[in-house]
Amino acid sequence: MATFIDIHHGMTGITADQLAAAHRADLAIEAEEHVHFKQAWADPESGTVYCLSEAPSKEAVQRIHERAGHLADEIHHVPITV
């Protein structure tokens, strides 16, 4: 398993409820790709959402996000953590 940060743009005005609903949609199906979305943060002003996940690959992260209805714009493998 590896750690990923993915980024969604164009989410200006996103609310706490919308972020929670999107996160729940990921959690509901993530096990099918052996992904786990650990946390997400949103900046409604710039319209940016950051998701932190553990997953077997970038593609697995994107498949869950796609099926949940919110493709990521960027997915970065972050092998180094402190």
Q: Tokens 């997915």 correspond to what residue?
A: 75
Instruction: Give, as ranges, the residues between 11 and 40 that touch a copy of itself (CB under 8 A).
Output: 14-16, 19-20, 23, 39-40
Contact between 5 and a copy of itself by CB under 8 A: the answer reads: yes
Rg (CA), the chain: 12
Helix (H) or strand (E) holding 69: none
Nearest approach in angstroms of CB 71 to a copy of itself is 19
Pick one of 12, 29, 31, 46: the residue that binds a copy of itself (CB under 8 A).
46
Phi-psi region of 20 (alpha: psi -120 to 50; beta: other; left: phi over 0): alpha
Contact between 3 and a copy of itself by CB under 8 A: the answer reads: yes
